[in-house]
Chains A and B, each alone.
Chain A
Amino acid sequence: MPRQRDVHAAYKVEVADGDQANGVASILGSLLQQNFDKFPERAAIARRMRRPVGVYSKDTDAAATIVFGQEGAVIYNGLVEKPSVTVHATVNQILDVAQLKVVGKGLVPVGFFTKRGLHVLGEILRHRLVVKGLLTHTMASLRTIALVSIAE
């Protein structure tokens, strides 16, 4: 009989490059692990992520890729493994996105209906904040926001 996975097991985040991790990888690593510790229910959202997600910081010219697994996630320097969703944003835009609230298992972005959320949408419409994969991988894009969000 196949062994069942403990859905309540802690979801761990590993930064693959350790001390050599760039700033984006390092921050994503800390942020995601602290989010999974604080909101353990978000592990279920992470387990639904089938493809990697990339984040490129435009003003520091650095990127990182999050590869999600069933037990945990690994974050790599740079854009690797062909992410299905890649966010190209300034530091301030990344900080704004990380404060958007998403509910409904990561699929209902209520945070977009706030002053900050409308600002983020405006930046997307003006192509100042680019989410590659937003239209073709919409659910993955919304789940990405839910995972990095610090909003309760």
Chain B
Amino acid sequence: MCTPVSESLKFFSPEWCAAAAEASNAEPKVLAGFREPAKFSHRMEFGCPDSGLATHIEFKEGVVVSWGAAEFPEDDIWLRINADAATWREAAEGGKEAGQLLMAGRIKFAKGPMSAAIENGGAFNNFIRAWGQVPTAWPDGA
């Protein structure tokens, strides 16, 4: 069943981030996908440069504790991960896993250790996949 556009949340808006955080935290495969969930406490940026969108998210022990507008200082940002809206949509809706899109060069690690993506690949895939549970108003062209 399709969700009416009027009920959809604008991608990367504060309301969307809150809903996606809830969906991610409710998905056990995310926590299980971290190499050491108890040690995964980091601030990160997820961006969509082609749409001029950037959000900041904070994980504590593998759980999303905040997600919203970009407001963390640059030095706090451990990972910056970018893709265009169409790529985020494809990963969220299950067309391809985020890891495959990373290897295809469509998701880019703009800052931070590549080892984070490798050892937490399962969490990364399932975290992005959880976005698909949020009824989303994607930017034009996505």
Question: Do residues B104 and A34 form an inter-chain contact, with CB atoms below 8 A?
Answer: no
B114 in the interface (beta carbon within 8 A): yes
B3 in the interface (beta carbon within 8 A): no
CA distance A62 to B97 in the complex (A): 16
- The distance from the CB of B81 to the nearest CB of chain A, in whole angstroms, is 12
B113 in the interface (beta carbon within 8 A): yes
Question: Do residues B103 and A23 form an inter-chain contact, with CB atoms below 8 A?
Answer: yes
Question: Do residues A31 and B104 form an inter-chain contact, with CB atoms below 8 A?
Answer: no
Give the contact-size bracket for chain B.
10 to 19
- The distance from the CB of B32 to the nearest CB of chain A, in whole angstroms, is 15
Partner of A95, one of B99, B104, B113: B99
Question: Do residues B104 and A60 form an inter-chain contact, with CB atoms below 8 A?
Answer: yes
User: A34 with B115: in contact, given A91-B97, A91-B100 (CB under 8 Å)?
Assistant: yes
Tell me which residues across on chain A come within 8 A of B99, comparing CB atoms: 91-92, 95
CA distance A98 to B121 in the complex (A): 12
Question: Do residues A92 and B121 form an inter-chain contact, with CB atoms below 8 A?
Answer: yes
B interface SS class: helix
B142 in the interface (beta carbon within 8 A): no
CA distance A19 to B108 in the complex (A): 12
Closest B residue by C-beta to A152: B115
CA distance A62 to B119 in the complex (A): 22
Closest B residue by C-beta to A32: B114
CA distance A92 to B106 in the complex (A): 17
List 10 A–B pairs whose Cβ atoms lie within 8 Å, in order of A's numbering: A22-B104, A23-B104, A27-B109, A31-B115, A31-B118, A57-B104, A62-B105, A92-B99, A95-B99, A99-B118
Q: Which of A's residues lie within 8 Å of B, judged by CB?
A: 21-24, 26-27, 30-31, 34, 57, 59-60, 62, 91-92, 94-95, 98-99, 150
Q: Which of B's residues lie within 8 Å of A, judged by CB?
A: 97, 99-100, 102-106, 108-109, 113-115, 118-119, 121
